[in-house]
Amino acid sequence: MRLGVLDIGSNTVHLLVADVRPGGRPHATTSKRTVLRLMRYLEPDGSISETGVQALVDAVAQAREIAQAEKVVELLATATSAVREATNGADVIARIEAALGQELQVLGGESEARFTFLAVRRWFGWSAGQILLFDIGGGSLEIAAGSDELPDVAASVPLGAGRSTIEFLPEDPPGEDAVERLREYALQTLAPAVELMADQPAPNHVVGSSKAIRSLAKLAGYPVPGWSGSERMLLPRQALGSWIPRLSRLPASARQELPGITADRTFQIVGAAVVLHAAMTAMRVDELEVSPWALREGVLLRYIESLSWSDPD
């Protein structure tokens, strides 16, 4: 059967369409992203402006049309931190549901972490052992750890790339003083999550997911051979840290000329780099591996599990 996952995040509205069957690996057929960067539409009172809401509704309506054209049997629509935390969130959700013609599942931060952890576990397999996961979105950073399909502990902290950029790095380029203020704030904000993870066994694999982390790995990381001729991307903390001063001195227009930094990430990539480096420092992580699968795949996999194993479709 053909399923769609619509991920309404803080940075993008992303539709993933995949053919699935119980017990089988999802086969993606279509991926459509609309870049919104909702954090730039936040008003002083914490609401999303009318311009932002309309852009969001338009992107959702377009995604619905694509899903219908692709003959999606069921569309799994989720929203994350930007919609969840807006002071006018209830109204925004109602307008999104009107554009979708169905209910929207609004995920809490820990739910985001759990879905993403499931996707990472399925990608790396049981042999990966204890996993420590970092996932940076536009509004929040999720951290999770465990040795099973779902994490034993999970935390969400307000350190997303978009949020951090707006609150701490509004100038272009931001400069090293602003970066240092964000670094100090990130370390303070991470402290409760670090304490929560303290009793977990040492990880066999440290994994990063999300587009921001993939971009940073292309910039500061390196590939190593994977299975079946594939490549794995590794991102060392030291290499990431060495790039941050350079990124902070470059204007956004110049950052997109760097390897891995796309136009839609150029404004937020400094904030993402500072937050990720702070998280790796706080958790004493020297290097992480990038997962191609993240939240959308986790939502898809959880739904596949709910299908009847006897269903021939």
Give the confidence band of 59 by pLDDT, cuts at 50, 70, 90: very high
* CB contact at 8 A, 19 and 26: yes
The pair phi, psi for residue 305, each rounded to 5°, is: -60, -25
**pLDDT reported for residue 24:** 78
* CB contact at 8 A, 75 and 4: yes
* CB contact at 8 A, 135 and 214: no
Dihedral (CA of 209, 210, 213, 218) sign: positive
Average pLDDT of span 24-41: 89
Res. 287: pLDDT tops 60: yes
Report the candidate in 132, 167, 120, 97 with the shortest Cα–Cα distance to residue 276: 132
Which residue type does 156 have?
A: S
Residues 100-146 pLDDT 10s: 999 999 999 899 999 999 999 999 999 999 999 999 998 899 999 99
Average pLDDT of span 59-81: 95
- The CB density around residue 8, as the number of other CB atoms within 10 Å, is 29
Report the candidate in 224, 10, 36 with the shortest Cα–Cα distance to residue 135: 10
> What architecture does CATH give domain 2-106?
2-Layer Sandwich (3.30)
Residue ranges of the chain assigned to CATH 3.30.420.40 = 2-106
Residue ranges of the chain assigned to CATH 3.30.420.150 = 125-295
CATH topology assigned to domain 125-295? Nucleotidyltransferase; domain 5 (3.30.420)
**pLDDT reported for residue 25:** 83
Query: Over the chain, what is the mean pLDDT?
Result: 93
**pLDDT reported for residue 56:** 95
